């Protein structure tokens, strides 16, 4: 979208805020009658577009680079990981204002006499309704379905119970199919298109198919489609995208930098070979975030990649790093040599240079306590200060659709080597890695990926066990720090992975260590007093905890016990205020005791 159009739309949005977006985010908020009304609006394409621009606020922002799970951790684990969630009185994701806005546009579309515009904006609104409900189903499971704005006197809607999950999913499919059929088919970095809708459909069908496969404890209903139905439809949708969308993978300057350039190119308009949709940031319009500040200061949680993910990267020749004797006691410089090039394009490794700089830059233990220093969406030093980053953030990209296709086929039991060559092995080609071989993977599943001590997967079985594990490895590495991991764990029913200890780099003991390979010290570890001028000086037992006391892997969250309740934690609780508001029509999710009796 050109700057002039952005300014026009921004001005219109300010006007719109006066009648539809002021006030709280409650489902029951009606459009104020003393201001511009729905009866006098929605009459032209420009008005439809201006109103619909607000829907884009549903998309995640900083959540696209900030993670707190088993692969990326922070100073403290999240409440989800620690098992410390409680039933809230309100909030916690149970908000419906965005849906109200979508349904408002759909209800008043007849105001516009331009049939072409009406169809396109109905398609856009239905895309966002499908997106909205996917986020709700992921979080809460069964939820009420609303396809019109709800007013404060609508008693039936006020007391509506949760609709069955199957009913919601089928309505989502109807919405997204309409969107696919009627949205523009051209590429756009910032506006939803047919291909965005197809990518969303691929995403939520994979989620639902694998969720139903592994979560047999839920009753989906006698008429519910089984997991294979969803997985087959995911594979079909993903295949159609691969074959007809015109999207591919961004190769950039080659295997050692092309992947990294996806996350260091300021404008997604330069990445439309792969990027289907991105969130547009531009400081000129007051749109910015904190990717640099988060990764390079000590005041934003100190995000760190864990040893578990670092160890998962294959060697450059395709062999498994964790098959090497003593893999977990190698020094940083040695463990990062000859690895999958995506490792050096995701964290700081020896030889790393900040974007636009000439000097080597080491992992900084003052801001990343495992030592595996994240580098996605980290750009030039001038953007390191608070609220000063404006690189676009990717929401959908073709690489994810390739992974969805492969996983859906594998989990459904229909995967072939040709399927892998069409999907995962294209991702491998981008970085010059050997191809995944289905027969070899199934003949010799990786024991590290199922090792309970390392938070390995416990629920993968069957003839495709090995290749499913390898596809999960590929997904973890390719989509690292892109907002997918927590809900991947949820849909696979692998919450117990959060209970394993979180580790970082290995240190053999006290001493001075050069982490970036430039010949100068980067960190000194000591027990009594520092003896060097290393920029980071860490006292054993205070600033840094090692697994074996005076040596070993960095131990994160010492003294914190993470627990996962298999009978409760895969869904969030329904807030008590909402249950009271509906007089108990909204039932509580299993395992959550809110003390309410109706």
Tell me the pLDDT tens digit for each residue of 299-322: 999 999 999 999 999 999 999 999
pLDDT at 533 over 50: yes
Q: What is the DSSP string of 543-562?
A: TB-BTTBSSEEEE-STT---
Quote the tokens at residue 113.
Answer: 């006499």
Q: Please state, in angstroms and rounded to a whole number, the distance separating the CA atoms of residues 295 and 511.
A: 26
Query: How sure is the predictor about 16, in pLDDT bands with cuts at 50, 70 and 90?
Result: very low
Is 538 domain-assigned?
yes
Alpha-carbon Rg for the chain in angstroms = 25
Q: Which residues pair with 546 in a beta bridge?
A: 549, 554
Domain extent at residue 530: 506-555
Query: Which CA distances in Å does 546 have to 2, 82, 437, 523, 534?
Result: 53, 21, 38, 14, 19
Is 223 a domain residue? no
SS3 content of the chain, % helix, strand, coil (to 5): 45, 10, 50
User: Token digits for 436?
Assistant: 């995944």
**How many Å apart are CA 166 and CA 142, to the nearest integer?**
9
Domain membership of residue 537 (yes or no) is yes
Q: Does some domain include residue 543?
A: yes
What pLDDT, in 10s, does the model give residues 57-96?
999 999 999 999 999 999 999 999 999 999 999 999 999 9
**What does pTM read for this prediction?**
0.94
Q: What is the mean pLDDT of residues 526-554?
A: 96
Average pLDDT, the chain: 93
Check if the beta carbon of residue 532 is closer than 8 Å to that of residue 51: no
- Rounded to 5°, the CA angle 474-478-482 comes to 130
- Residue 475 in domain: no
Question: CA torsion sign, 90 to 91 to 93 to 95?
Answer: positive
Decide if pLDDT at 19 tops 50.
no
List CB contacts of 529: < 8 A, sequence separation 6 or more. none
Q: Given this model, what pLDDT does residue 221 score?
A: 83
**Does 122 map to a domain?**
no
Q: How many structural domains compose the chain?
A: 1
CB 187 within 8 A of CB 272: yes
Per-residue pLDDT of 407-433, as tens digits, reads 999 999 999 999 999 999 999 999 999
Residue 480 lies in a domain: no
In our burial notation (b when 16+ CB lie closer than 10 A, e otherwise), range 514-549 reads: bbbbeeebbbbbbeeeeeeebebbbebeeebbbbee
Give pLDDT, residue 35.
54
Does residue 36 register a pLDDT over 90?
no
Bridge partners of 553? Answer: 506
| Mean pLDDT, residues 258-271 taken together | 98
Half-sphere exposure of 458 (CA within 13 A, CB side): 13
In a domain, 412, yes or no: no
Long-range contacts of 247-250 (CB under 8 A, 24+ apart): 247/187, 247/195, 247/273, 247/274, 247/276, 247/398, 247/401, 248/273, 248/274, 248/398, 249/273, 249/274, 249/398, 249/399, 249/402, 249/426, 249/427, 249/430, 250/274, 250/275, 250/430
Token digits of residue 503? 């580790």
pLDDT mean over 535-564: 96
Residue 400 confidence (pLDDT): 98
């Amino acid at each position: 979208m050109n700057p002039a159009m952005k300014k026009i739309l921004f001005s219109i949005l300010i006007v719109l805020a006066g009648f539809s977006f002021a006030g709280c985010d409650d489902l029951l908020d009606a459009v104020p009658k003393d201001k511009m009304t729905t009866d006098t609006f929605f009459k032209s394409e420009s008005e439809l577009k201006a109103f619909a621009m607000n829907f884009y606020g549903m998309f995640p922002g900083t959540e696209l680079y900030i993670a707190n799970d088993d692969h990326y951790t922070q100073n403290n684990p999240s409440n989800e990981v620690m098992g410390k969630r409680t039933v809230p009185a309100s909030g916690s994701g149970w908000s419906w204002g965005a849906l109200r806005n979508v349904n408002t546009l759909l209800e008043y579309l007849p105001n516009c006499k331009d049939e072409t515009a009406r169809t396109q904006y109905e398609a856009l609104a239905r895309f966002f309704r499908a997106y909205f409900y996917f986020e709700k189903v992921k979080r809460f499971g069964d939820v009420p379905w609303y396809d019109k704005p709800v007013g404060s006197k609508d008693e039936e809607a006020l007391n509506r119970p949760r609709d069955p999950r199957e009913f919601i999913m089928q309505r989502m499919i109807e919405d997204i199919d309409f969107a696919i059929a009627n949205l523009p088919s051209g590429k756009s970095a910032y506006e939803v298109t047919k291909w965005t809708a197809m990518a969303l459909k691929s995403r939520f069908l994979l989620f639902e198919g694998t969720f139903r496969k592994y979560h047999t404890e839920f009753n989906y209903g006698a008429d519910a489609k089984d997991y294979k139905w969803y997985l087959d439809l995911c594979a079909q949708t993903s295949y159609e995208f691969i074959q007809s969308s015109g999207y591919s993978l961004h190769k950039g300057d080659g295997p050692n930098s092309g992947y990294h350039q996806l996350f260091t190119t300021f404008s997604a308009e330069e990445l439309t070979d792969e990027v289907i949709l991105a969130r547009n940031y531009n400081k000129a319009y007051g749109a910015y975030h904190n990717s640099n500040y988060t990764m390079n200061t000590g005041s934003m949680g100190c995000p760190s990649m864990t040893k578990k993910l670092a160890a998962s990267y294959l060697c450059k020749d395709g062999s498994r790093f964790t098959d090497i004797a003593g893999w977990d006691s190698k020094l940083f410089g040695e463990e990062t040599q000859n690895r999958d090039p995506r490792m050096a394009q995701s964290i700081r490794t020896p030889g790393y240079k900040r974007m636009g700089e000439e000097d080597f830059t080491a992992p900084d233990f003052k801001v990343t306590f495992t030592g595996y220093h994240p580098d996605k969406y980290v750009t030039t030093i001038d953007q390191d200060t608070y609220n000063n980053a404006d690189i676009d953030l990717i929401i959908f990209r073709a690489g994810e659709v390739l992974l969805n296709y492969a996983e859906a086929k594998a989990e459904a039991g229909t995967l072939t080597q040709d399927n892998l060559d069409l999907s995962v092995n294209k991702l491998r080609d981008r970085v010059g890695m050997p191809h995944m071989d289905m027969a070899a993977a199934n003949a010799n599943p990786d024991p590290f990926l199922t090792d309970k001590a390392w938070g390995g997967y416990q629920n993968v079985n069957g003839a495709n066990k090995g290749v499913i594990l390898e596809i999960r490895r590929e997904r973890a590495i390719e989509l690292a720090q892109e907002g997918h991991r927590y809900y991947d764990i949820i849909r696979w029913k692998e919450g117990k992975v959060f209970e394993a200890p979180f580790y970082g780099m290995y240190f053999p003991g006290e001493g001075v260590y050069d982490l970036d390979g430039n010949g100068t010290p980067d960190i000194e570890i000591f027990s009594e007093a520092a003896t060097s001028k290393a920029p980071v000086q860490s006292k054993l037992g205070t600033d840094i905890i090692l697994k074996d006391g005076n040596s070993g892997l960095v131990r994160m969250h010492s003294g914190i016990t993470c627990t996962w309740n298999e009978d409760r934690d895969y869904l969030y609780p329904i807030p008590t205020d909402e249950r009271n508001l509906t007089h108990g029509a909204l039932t509580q999710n299993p395992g959550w005791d809110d003390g309410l009796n109706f």
